[in-house]
């Protein structure tokens, strides 16, 4: 279930900020990463599974995707594959607590913008997120994804 939460006091800038989607099977990670993304000035939508995200409108709207590698039913690498098969050009930042070097190699060779390991420093996430969003802005036609 999407738990993007309330928008920041109806702020129009927040409504125009790039949307970052977060997929992780750990509710505490979803909550903390979603909160951080909002602190950074972006909009955030969170998903407990890859299938939930792939079935959502966020696929067409997301400026960036923060994606857990290891999840039940559909892992992050499969989500990445399915997005590529659809022609979706969303920059992906993988986030993991435990992943093999092979998983990292596969994610990067398929176009992942970053492969971040937990525990994660706030500054590391912010830098990776800003780099991914700014690098993808021309693909989306500007700042707001339109």
User: How do the domains of the chain map onto residue ranges?
Assistant: 12-140
- The pLDDT tens digits for 82-130 are 999 999 999 999 999 887 899 999 999 999 999 999 888 999 999 999 9
> Do 23 and 58 meet the contact criterion of CB atoms below 8 Å apart?
no
Which residues in 51-110 belong to E strands, given as ranges?
Answer: 62-68, 92-96
Q: Which CATH architecture has domain 12-140?
A: 3-Layer(aba) Sandwich (3.40)
Which residues contact residue 41 at a Cβ distance below 8 angstroms, ignoring those fewer than 6 apart? 13, 14, 17
- The pLDDT tens digits for 19-75 are 999 999 999 999 999 999 999 999 999 999 999 999 999 999 999 999 999 999 999
pTM for the predicted model, two decimal places? 0.84
Which residues contact residue 101 at a Cβ distance below 8 angstroms, ignoring those fewer than 6 apart? none
**How many Å is the Cα radius of gyration of the chain?**
14
Nearest to 96 by CA among 81, 115, 79: 115
């Amino acid at each position: 279930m999407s738990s993007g939460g309330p928008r920041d006091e109806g702020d129009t800038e927040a409504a125009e900020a790039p949307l970052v989607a977060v997929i992780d099977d750990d509710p505490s990670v979803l909550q903390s990463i979603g909160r951080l993304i909002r602190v950074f000035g972006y909009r955030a939508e969170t998903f407990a599974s890859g299938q939930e995200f792939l079935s959502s409108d966020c696929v067409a709207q997301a400026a960036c995707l923060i994606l857990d590698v290891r999840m039940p039913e559909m892992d992050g690498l499969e989500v990445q594959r399915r997005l590529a098969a659809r022609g979706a050009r969303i920059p992906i930042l993988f986030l993991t607590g435990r992943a093999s070097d092979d998983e990292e190699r596969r994610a990067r060779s398929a176009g992942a913008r970053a492969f971040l390991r937990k525990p994660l420093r706030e500054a590391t996430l912010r830098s990776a997120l800003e780099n991914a969003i700014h690098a993808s802005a021309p693909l989306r036609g500007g700042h707001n994804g339109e």
